[in-house]
Structure 1
Amino acid sequence: MAPASTDAAPRGRPLTLIRCGDATDDYAFVLDEACLDEVLKKVPSGRKVAVVSVVGAFRTGKSFLLTLVLRYLREKGGRDWLEKGGTLSEGNANEGVNSQKDAFEWRGGRNRMTTGITVWSEPFEVTSNKGELLSVIILDTQGLFDNETPMGLTSCIFGLSTLMSSFQVYNVANRIQEDNLQQLALFTEYGRMALDAQRQARKEASSIKKDHALQRNEERRQELREKVKAARACDGSLDKVKQLEAELAKESVVEDDAFEEPPPPFQRLEFLVRDWTEFEDSLSDTDMEQQMKTYLDEVMAARHANDLQFTREQITQCFVSIGCRLLPHPGFAVTSKKYDGSTAAIEPLFKRCVDRFMRSVFSDLEPKSINGSELTALELGNYVRAYAAMFSGGANRFPQARTMLEATAEANNRNARAKALEAYCADLDSKCGAGPGVSYLEPREFRTVEKRARSDALCAFDAMATMGRKASILETRASLDLELSKARDRFRLMNDARNPFRNVEFYVLPMLVAAGSFVARRVTDFLCPNDETLLARTCDRAEDAFDHLYGGVVFLMLLFAAQRLVAMKKYLKVVGAGLLDGGVKRD
């Protein structure tokens, strides 16, 4: 996967997505909704998102690393992405440096830089090796294990970052230690419960989809039977009857889908060991890759102690992929408080290894996925809100596994509702919406089309919303049914507007009256005598009456037409509003 080739890469700025409180409120987490919306609204509708985050110990170079990530993405992974300009001024907060404020701020020394969880304001467009465009969101986190951060808060920051990320870089100094693995072990119970829930959810979804497919299959067979019967009753051609009978015979029986084991709840974890001392300039890339693999195998190898072995087994089961990258020291000039950003001061071996690291991260990046579903920006936002609320209780209230599972299920149900409503609107829009080439449907046909679209939408919701409490699922389903009814009414209005005979009685009757008056006026004029007799005067009065009636009807029709134009203007506003939001409400 490589950064997409756009003319101008976004610059942006860091935004505090999650703010941590202080001791007075037990270090409670507060989500900045405006910040979240600012980032997500920049992702094109329907595009999938990937979330890359960096977590790790206090003052181990996370923000510096993310500045390199931003430069790599801006330069679209070009050959000289790190050396370009000869200086690394982005985010450099060292003394005497004229820093550009277009990166995560970093500097040498011991003082903490990042607090809470920070997000880069501009998503980056990346093209996968499958040719699919992804929007990549970058997260930075507060340093862990310092003298100011309680252990409960450390666990919460680590936990929230893990839940939100599709690719998490675990930044550690010198080597992977046992306490690094213990942080990951906090989620093993949630991972086990999530896997069990996903297995049950997949079984239920498979059953729901099969029942729906059987229903659709039977409806299709019934339609074909009626067509065969009608063709025979109307003495249709033998070829047509045979063709319909052949189609009926081809309608296959719906078979059970093979059960697929759900993936682990978390996606990719990459240990990034900083200041690694065992690389030599003479080593080839292949040798260094092998050393990384060997080191990870040693760390995750079986242990005699049961608790250590259990921790490793649980971590392995919770992540789809676990990798390891080793980075040598960038050079003491770089860690100095007076480092001016010169790329020449960076050790060549570090440059070589960090380039390999960047390409490994973005060579196989995948969308954020939860419960087997790849997320769009709207869906990711629902999960972030649910997870942030779960951690709002404070540092001493790390959520239990069941609480995490319920938060995931709640956001999953909201996303299922949004997807089902979107599919319903897309289906009806293609058949009776405001788009070009759509014709008028008779009321009976509209009811049939709408009923099938509603059935498909509810089936899609039922197949996806299979996690969590049944009462919560039923409540969300009821709200979906209400939204479907509102969308149905909008599409009915659009369909009725295409009816060629709509309100025809308002035109036909006045036109008949006007035509009759006009004909009567001409007949009277032709038959009446042109003298001063009583009959002639009566005919003249009749002619005047017919003229007035004809003129009055024409005037009333013009007045009615003007009123219709005003009503049409209001109608177009309603239809336009429906088209703009696609009939889908945002949670």
Structure 2
Amino acid sequence: SLIFLVRDWSFPYEFSYGADGGAKFLEKRLKVSGNQHEELQNVRKHIHSCFTNISCFLLPHPGLKVATNPNFDGKLKEIDDEFIKNLKILIPWLLSPESLDIKEINGNKITCRGLVEYFKAYIKIYQGEELPHPKSMLQATAEANNLAAVATAKDTYNKKMEEICGGDKPFLAPNDLQTKHLQLKEESVKLFRGVKKMGGEEFSRRYLQQLESEIDELYIQYIKHNDSKNIFHAARTPATLFVVIFITYVIAGVTGFIGLDIIASLCNMIMGLTLITLCTWAYIRYSGEYRELGAVIDQVAAALWDQGSTNEI
């Protein structure tokens, strides 16, 4: 619901104080006429489709003592009786349990995550020194509406992927992981498309692309997380380094036996460096320190592994 609260209403002879007078006043204000600007007409047309109920409450002026006394501290005796009378009507009207509904915009219930997206969108347009135009407000609402749909669909994908290959789940075959990813991605896209959104299909297209891009980024993270559970993947780096040590040891022995001392010395040096690298990698894994160096060693070992696999093929 959207409620317009008009304070200091000075024309009770035209529209009486309270909700009844406010309803008549709002009906007059939201009436579409041909002499209005196109943007103003669009706002009046769209506002009814965005909110289930639109109402208005006309509140009188609190009195001259409130307005002119710099030392006013909120004492009820200094506030005009007509204002207090209508305030006693307004507060229950706003805060009574039967009036507290789940907020909806464009037919969609607003979640905390969605509300954050609306805040972000409105903060952007209110950052300037001038008040935003109606078109800017409408566009910001449409943007927040689409971003909330993106966040909901992305969260759905994330939760279901956590159930499949989360932290406490065992290693999943890469092909099965990809199949689940494609299935859940399609479900998330359907969820996004099924949510009522403002701005039309063309406006929502770029947010659909954003959703697909963010889901693909999440999938890459899940691949890395899943690979870390594979015992053979975890053993790839030490296995590769052991193979290098073994090969250089054999070559050094053969070349030394036939008199190629330079090559033997070079192989011994490579073997020594590889052994030091293996010890360093083991220390990093054990202590958790120098993780950047450990990542470099893993990358080099992975490149050697992939190169060896390619040569075998």
TM tier relative to shorter chain: 0.5 to 0.7
Aligned match of 1:471: 202
Structure in which a larger fraction of residues adopt strand:
1
Aligned match of 1:273: 59
Of 106, 117, 139, the residue aligned with 1:379 is 117
CA shift in 2, pair 1:507/1:455, >3 Å: same
Report the CA distance between 1:569 and its aligned residue.
8.6
Tell me if the contact between 1:190 and 1:404 (Cα under 8 Å) persists in the aligned partners: no
**Structure ranking higher on relative contact order (CA contacts 8 Å, 6+ apart):** 1
Matched, 1:456 2:187: yes
Tell me if the contact between 1:331 and 1:345 (Cα under 8 Å) persists in the aligned partners: no
Matched, 1:365 2:201: no
CA shift in 2, pair 1:432/1:476, >3 Å: same
CA shift in 2, pair 1:497/1:166, >3 Å: farther
What is the CA–CA distance in structure 1 between the aligned matches of 2:150 and 2:220, rounded to whole Å?
18
What is the CA–CA distance in structure 2 between the aligned matches of 1:484 and 1:503, rounded to whole Å?
26
What is the CA–CA distance in structure 2 between the aligned matches of 1:423 and 1:499, rounded to whole Å?
26
Instruction: Give the counterpart letter for 1:185 in structure 2.
Output: K
Give CA deviations for 1:381-409 in whole Å, capped at 9, x if unaligned: 254257659x9797xx764xxx8765543
Matched, 1:409 2:116: no
Report the CA distance between 1:264 and its aligned residue.
5.4
Q: Which structure 2 segments of 5+ residues have no match? A: 16-23, 33-39, 247-267, 296-313
Report the CA distance between 1:484 and its aligned residue.
1.4
Instruction: Give the counterpart letter for 2:222 in structure 1.
Output: F
Tell me if the contact between 1:465 and 1:473 (Cα under 8 Å) persists in the aligned partners: no
Report the CA distance between 1:455 and its aligned residue.
1.3
Report the CA distance between 1:489 and its aligned residue.
0.9
Give CA deviations for 1:236-282 in whole Å, capped at 9, x if unaligned: xxxxxxxxxxxxxxxxxxxxxxxxxxx6536442313326xxxxxxx
For residues 39-188 of structure 1, the aligned pairs below 5 Å read: 166-171=2-7, 172-175=9-12, 177=15, 181-185=27-31
Tell me if the contact between 2:121 and 2:141 (Cα under 8 Å) persists in the aligned partners: yes
Instruction: Give the counterpart letter for 1:272 in structure 2.
Output: L
CA shift in 2, pair 1:180/1:168, >3 Å: closer
Tell me if the contact between 1:168 and 1:269 (Cα under 8 Å) persists in the aligned partners: yes
Tell me if the contact between 1:174 and 1:274 (Cα under 8 Å) persists in the aligned partners: no
RMSD: 4.4
CA shift in 2, pair 1:483/1:475, >3 Å: same
Aligned match of 2:178: 447
What is the CA–CA distance in structure 1 between the aligned matches of 2:244 and 2:187, rounded to whole Å?
49
Give CA deviations for 1:212-248 in whole Å, capped at 9, x if unaligned: xxxxxxxxxxxxxxxxxxxxxxxxxxxxxxxxxxxxx
Matched, 1:426 2:159: yes
Percent of aligned positions with the same letter in both sequences?
19
Tell me if the contact between 2:106 and 2:196 (Cα under 8 Å) persists in the aligned partners: no
Instruction: Give the counterpart letter for 1:265 in structure 2.
Output: F
Tell me if the contact between 1:421 and 1:484 (Cα under 8 Å) persists in the aligned partners: yes
Report the CA distance between 1:416 and its aligned residue.
2.0
Structure in which a larger fraction of residues adopt helix:
2
> How many aligned positions are there?
245
Tell me the secondary structure at the aligned position of residue 232 of structure 2. coil
Tell me the secondary structure at the aligned position of residue 95 of structure 2. helix
For normalisation by structure 1, the TM-score amounts to: 0.34
Tell me if the contact between 1:333 and 1:345 (Cα under 8 Å) persists in the aligned partners: no
Aligned match of 2:73: 341
What is the CA–CA distance in structure 1 between the aligned matches of 2:90 and 2:198, rounded to whole Å?
37
Q: Which structure 1 segments of 5+ residues have no match? A: 1-164, 196-262, 276-329, 516-547, 572-587
Tell me the secondary structure at the aligned position of residue 340 of structure 1. coil
What is the CA–CA distance in structure 2 between the aligned matches of 1:266 and 1:387, rounded to whole Å?
25
CA shift in 2, pair 1:383/1:371, >3 Å: farther
